[in-house]
Every structure is written in structure tokens, then in C-alpha cells.
Amino acid sequence: MRITHLVCLGLSLVACRDGGGGDDTPPGVDAPPGGSVTIQEIQNDAMPVGTPVELDGVVILAIDTFGARTGDIWVGEPGGGEFSGIKVFGAPLDQIAALAPGDIVTITNAEKDEFALTADTTGRKVTEIKGAAGGMMAINKTGTGALPTPTTVDALAISLLPVAEQDAAWEKFEGVLITVTNARQLSGIDTFGTNPDQKEFEATGGVAVQSVLADLGANAVVGTCYQGITGIGDYFFNYLVLPRTTADLVDGGTGCAAQQIATVTAIQTGTTTGSVVVNDVFVVALSSNKKQLWISQSLNGASNEGIFVFRGTGATVLDANIVPGAKVNVTGTTKEQNNDMTGDTLTQIQGATVTFVAAPTTPPVPVATQQASTLVIANTGEPFESVLVTLTNVKINVVGDPTPGTGNFGVGQLQQGATTFLSDDDTLLLNDPVGTCYATITGMWTYQVFDNAYGLLPISKTAGGACP
């Protein structure tokens, strides 16, 4: 089974540390010669990776003591502001143990680095300092001071920038203590790594809020407008905010963009995008693990009236009352999903909260007038994406095999007439022998983002029929 969502890769992946660009460009800073420098000079692209650096009189902003992965620290210039903070990688643990936020320190025997995982192909990196080649970094406390006042970052204003400019807006705050305002929580809590304490949600402006330094708390629910989210800016596959305590997330904000009351049809046709609430819609199907679902505007299947609801890889099983035919309300964020930059996309509501409204009265009715020959073509098939359909006289060409390491991720191949198309096991695994002919097969029509092709997620089948 391959749920059509690009899961954030765990922190256990092999990392690469290399030279390279980024968008670290504090204005008006010339290339420094190395030695004692400011953090702003290190953050400047003019300083080459590998330059020896010494930081004097910087303040400890945060120390990671939360969860299974600990030991990272962030330091900043006392005055705060853009480009004023930086992550310290690989600091000696015995030295960190004697430090606390607010301590003034000198860091010696360090060098500049740019970090990204090999799987991150965006070209973005986070600027850090690490121990100089052939030696060990030293962090010495020289006094105690006050944390800089968090720099205010308007998430709503960033969300209104052209997409090409949003990265540069967040880049200024890598390693900086910030307070993000006008941010609405756009997704439920999801996991982002291999440890159970690694949680995150998406927020306005294309930023994610992660539990690297502290638990996000029970009040972090989709739709919340935050008065402020205070924490350290960071980057890992996405621009991040890392609250230092649960109390750093303050709800009750009033400046967020309004949530839109939308219909499935408006989302599927692109009329409504962003943070949405979809009321009184019908459940058409559940994933085999009972965590994800497909909904429709009405019980009778029709073009542009179905959509996939992705609740996250770490979602719990849906309420037992949420079954096909039940009426629900859905709150989440629209997304055109694909795992690469080729092919089409799957329209979905992601990070969603699903609330039970009413029990089923009649079952969903599939569309029975479509043929695979038209459904596999983008212009005619896309309107039936996430719509319940029934196809006749369909046979198996390739059996889906979900066996880890040796299988095909449960992706098989079906044929109707002369047209072949994919099947997947998101809802039901077809494991009948090759050549098996079905008189009818019913399921969710979908776009397979990992294969860049249209296909069927079977729900039920009947034997017999006449197949080529």
C-alpha cells in the first residue's frame, strides 16, 4: 500500500555535509577573513564553507533536552534580529551539560558548514557551525545575560508573497529566536521521524511547527489561530519553528486568514484553496487501516464531487461511527499532491480533522457509465479523481504484491477491453490469479502520484464476465 502522500523522511537517513549555496545573504556584510566574527557574517554566503570561526559574547538561545534525540544547541547575538542566530552542531556533551539558555559564551575551534540530507533535492541548506577539521569545538561560559527579544515574523504576510519569495523570507530566521504571528494551524499533529516524540503540524506561510525542543501540547489542533508561536527558526526539508516549551504556543489569535466554508466540488475544481471547512459531506470509502478516507458531496457519485482526505501518517484509527455512507464535517488544508515535479497531481485535504455528524441511511452509489479508456486520459479522467466508480468486464494482468523488499508495493495492473490501468491496495488487495475476470469491480478512481498514472483503488468485486 502506498498512501498518496510524501512522508517526511526520518532523521535516520544518511546525511551529507558539503559546500554550496543557500539564500543566506544578510545585506551589507562583506566576506570576513575568519577568526572572531559575528553570526551575521557566518550567515552570509560570502563566507565560504569551512572557514574557521570564533564567536565571542553570544547567548545560548536553546538547548535540546527533549525526547530521544538531544544535544543540539542554538546561539544568537544579544541584539537579535534577522540572521542573528545559528545552530551549533556536534558540541561536546560535557560542555553542554554545564550550560543553560541565557548564558553568554565564547565558541572556538569551529568552522562554518551548510547542512542538508542527501534526500533533500531542493538545493536548500541550513547554515551551522561545527568543530573545525581535526579538532574539537570548545564552548566556554563567560557570563550570564538575557535572551534577545524574539523577532516578530508575520506568517500571513509571508503566505501572501509569491512562492518563489517565501523561502527567502523564512531563511532570514534560521537559528533566530522568533515569535510567529497570524499563523493558523493547517494540519493535525503528524509524525516527522522515527521517534514517537517527533511531532509536527503545518502552519500558515508554508512553515512547519515541530516538537524538537518540547511537546506541542493537547491544544495544538487544526484550525487554531495562534496569537503567537515562539521558538527557534530552523530548516529540515521545510522551514521550521521549534517551540522551547508547550507554553510557547499561544492560541486566541485574531489576525489569521479566515477558514473558508467550502464544497468538495469547489476544492476539486480549484475554486477554493487553503484552509477549509467542508460540512455535511458523505464518507465513500476508508483506507484499509481505517485512518484515511474519501468523501463526496452527495451519496450519488458524480464528476468533481469526490476528494481524498489525508489525516497524516501518524493518525489514529477513525471513530467507529465513521463508515461509508456516514455524514461528516472535515477541517483541513487543500493540497495538490505529487512526490515529484512531473505528471499530474492528486487533489486532497491534508492534515484533516474529521467529525462525525450522522449515521448512514443508504450506501454510496457509484458512477457506472464510465470506461477505463476515457478515465485514464487526464482531460476526461481527472474529473472522476476520488469518485466511486464501477467498471465491467475487467481482468487482472499483474497481481499486487505488498511484500516488503520483493513486492511491487501492492500495485497491480488491470485491463478493460484494450485499456490497461493500475490498481493499488489502499482499500483492498486484489490477489486473485493473473487472468481472473470480474463481471464488475467497484472502487475509488485515483491518480497514482508515485507512478504518474491514473488507476483504481478496488473496494468490491464480482466474479464472471467476458474479458479479452
Confidence (pTM): 0.69
250: exposed, middle or buried (Cβ count in 10 Å: 0-12, 13-18, 19+): middle
**Which amino acid is it at 291?**
K
Rounded Cα distance, 30 and 454, in Å: 53
Rounded Cα distance, 51 and 275, in Å: 44
Can you give the pLDDT at residue 163? 75
Q: pLDDT digit string (tens) for 156-186? A: 999 888 877 889 999 999 999 999 999 999 8
Question: CATH number of the domain at 372-463, please?
Answer: 2.40.50
Unique residue bearing C-alpha cell 472535515: 330
Whether residue 243 contacts residue 233, with contact meaning beta carbons closer than 8 Å, is answered with no
Residue 341, pLDDT > 80, answer no
Q: Where are the domains of the chain?
A: 15-144, 151-251, 260-358, 372-463
The residue count for the chain: 468
Residue 339, pLDDT > 50, answer yes
Can you give the pLDDT at residue 24? 46
Can you give the pLDDT at residue 35? 58
Can you give the pLDDT at residue 172? 95
Rounded Cα distance, 283 and 457, in Å: 15
For the chain, give the percent of residues with pLDDT over 90. Answer: 70
The number of C-alpha atoms within 13 Å of 392 and in the hemisphere containing its C-beta is 6
For the chain, give the percent of residues with pLDDT over 70. Answer: 92
- In the CATH hierarchy, which top-level class contains the domain 15-144? mainly beta
3-state secondary structure of 409: coil
Can you give the pLDDT at residue 5? 40
Q: Do domains 151-251 and 372-463 have the same CATH topology?
A: yes
Number of C-beta neighbours around residue 38 at 10 A: 19
Q: Show Cβ contacts of residue 369 under 8 Å, excluding neighbours closer than 6 positions.
A: none
Q: How confident is the model at residue 378 (pLDDT cuts 50, 70, 90)?
A: very high
Can you give the pLDDT at residue 26? 54
Residue 27, pLDDT > 80, answer no
The number of C-alpha atoms within 13 Å of 33 and in the hemisphere containing its C-beta is 0
Residue 296, pLDDT > 90, answer yes
- 13 versus 203: the higher-pLDDT residue is 203
> Hey, CA dihedral for 19, 212, 4, 399, is it positive or negative?
positive
Q: pLDDT digit string (tens) for 212-270? A: 999 999 889 888 999 999 999 999 888 999 999 999 999 999 999 888 899 999 999 99
Q: Show Cβ contacts of residue 218 under 8 Å, excluding neighbours closer than 6 positions.
A: none
Q: pLDDT digit string (tens) for 72-89? A: 999 999 999 999 999 999
Residue 11, pLDDT > 60, answer no
What is the CATH T-level fold of the domain 260-358, as seen in this structure?
OB fold (Dihydrolipoamide Acetyltransferase, E2P) (2.40.50)
Whether residue 22 contacts residue 37, with contact meaning beta carbons closer than 8 Å, is answered with no
**Which amino acid is it at 102?**
G
Q: How confident is the model at residue 8 (pLDDT cuts 50, 70, 90)?
A: very low
Q: What is the DSSP letter of 246?
A: G
Q: How confident is the model at residue 332 (pLDDT cuts 50, 70, 90)?
A: confident
3-state secondary structure of 444: strand
**Which amino acid is it at 182?**
N
- 453 versus 22: the higher-pLDDT residue is 453
Whether residue 102 contacts residue 143, with contact meaning beta carbons closer than 8 Å, is answered with no
Can you give the pLDDT at residue 257? 86
Q: What is the DSSP letter of 389?
A: E
What does the mean pLDDT of the chain come to? 89
Mean pLDDT value across residues 20-40: 57
Strands 207-210 and 199-203: antiparallel
Helices (H) and strands (E) in the chain, counts: 7, 28
- In the CATH hierarchy, which top-level class contains the domain 151-251? mainly beta
- 244 versus 311: the higher-pLDDT residue is 244
Residue 293, pLDDT > 80, answer yes
Can you give the pLDDT at residue 237? 86
Mean pLDDT value across residues 275-279: 90
Find, among 103, 53, 48, the residue nearest to 75 by Cα: 103
**Of 55-69, 170-184, 237-251, 336-350, the least confident:** 336-350
